[in-house]
Structure 1
């Protein structure tokens, strides 16, 4: 497959003509839609039943933390046993968890009970996005279409974050506070089962390496650990924006525009993602990650001082435009840093880092909002991106592509096939550093 596309001009048209792509893209789109509805649905439901943004942020944080901790294990199991074997039980547990959370919230159960149910709900959240990315990597190998695939997935993710929050907010505010989570559970069940049924396009199973050695973890790659820290910063933007926009719109008496404002923010990310995938980059992904985080830090700086809705929408759009380059470049680096046997796990580590950052930001922003007002919650995205940028600048040397034998315990066919491409990428990065 890789050899068939290496000589083709990278672009969305060529990418979507990849044999078998649509068989997992369409089910994958449906199955990942609930991911964008979960945290905003929890926030709106718990705030409505408790009257506290702090409690809502705490439950959202518990969901996100458990998701972040268990997602990499889910990815590792998917690499070892196959995506279907992990996805099917996960979908069922998640739907049961959401149902229990709704029941307890409407019954005005104590906070500890909501937190207890939030843990399995978050832990079982289907990791469809990383699974789709792993399918792209398996089909494209080291082809020039991989950055385009990373951009396409970022656009798809952000399109769900345009539609999801708007849909969840409309259901929660227009029908019932629990309607958003009910829709999330239904879509998870239908989309997850449909995606799991696409067995032909799932990556090969890697049960053990030659000689019976168990495969290592993607976390053993230094570059993956650096990217995890960076993606935590992106998570603080998502979490801080969700809670702060909800509090801001409630404060001004127009809660219905919360989903619209967050949708504008996500639309900026989606538009930037489209542009990133259409550009034939001459600058390596490592440099793009650093520039992207620098711009993102600058863009989040004025959020806390904005009080007018149109201006807040404009600043949110700019923040969204700055997220995509950093996300896409980070996911692109995984293909050269990590061998195929651990890529699903690597992608889930990054997705989990975003969820963990989002959870921490939701909790902190909720506490700041309760104590000091809605605008203070916007300081969380600024602090998170600034810390992430500092880590990237300090440890940027770990993001240079190198052989991935540290994960597998020795050279593999995957790393041997990509050795030439890795060497070229390394030379280009060194030249541009």
Structure 2
């Protein structure tokens, strides 16, 4: 039975997949406050739902009185993490990295407390030390502690090589730099725990071993599981793409709807991982069935959206959904919008083209199939004719609402 409150709750919520030495880590965390970190590479200008487990881990760490470090990978992003990737990432320019960093800083600060006195939460960037490294010094002082044979045994590397995909020397260095990050954060802030997704296990263990070899200190690694839904789909992926935390990339309404559409079997698990509700309440809600499980899904959606955005936006998304799906009213607040030149409708457009232009359908053929199958609506009215002429008469206050099935909606805004 764990002694530390953090390990106890992390286990009960399903956050822990692997640890380097759980018993010793639990003992240390029960005796004193520690500093732990998780790294986030700026591969896009927003984090997505796939990163939410790590952010919630940092949030939970702070709840139990420990200090968290959210490490931005401004330096490692110049190489790119090869872990479990089929091919090398496209190298990013400095301008792209800087732009992406601004976006993910906002995501992190929304969910994890960052304080200027660095008592509870620290936000830092590994470019601060990686860009200053001397290559020869790195090889002599750090590289000497890495075995190529051992690095080739990592699942993340072996999977790539088994597919007969090349692994560049540039990418091969990623593990060394991530390990060096742990060493640097240990020196600067006393960090003794690195956390991350299970795909980072090899890199995390390398950092733990590097500190043991160079400083003779016992530090720790912990990974969370990489999640899939009960039906086997990757967490945070939809037919429309990734579920981003940035509201400009994924509207608050779409974000709320993503969680509202959670499969019944996942409700309890997701409540424990992605909300601050007590574990017992998460389990109670997850055990509901029938119409009651739908109410639990609304609680899940509103709680997660509140954490990732804010309470007001979450409630507005919930109200919009309820009016639309439960009361059958035509409402516009909270739906994603796409602009269309008003002149496009002067001569009218066939209905299938409008669904393609709105990006609800990826192709003309898909749009035609949707309409023929009875899954298309305009202003909540089903259409059966794929060539139905859509003109200005369909606009209400300059907006036309398109629906694909019961869950995907978008507004055409005439400009």
**What TM-score results when the alignment is normalised by the length of structure 2?**
0.22
Query: Which structure's CA Rg is the greater one?
Result: 2
Higher RCO (CA-CA < 8 Å; seq separation 6+):
1
- Bigger helix fraction: 1
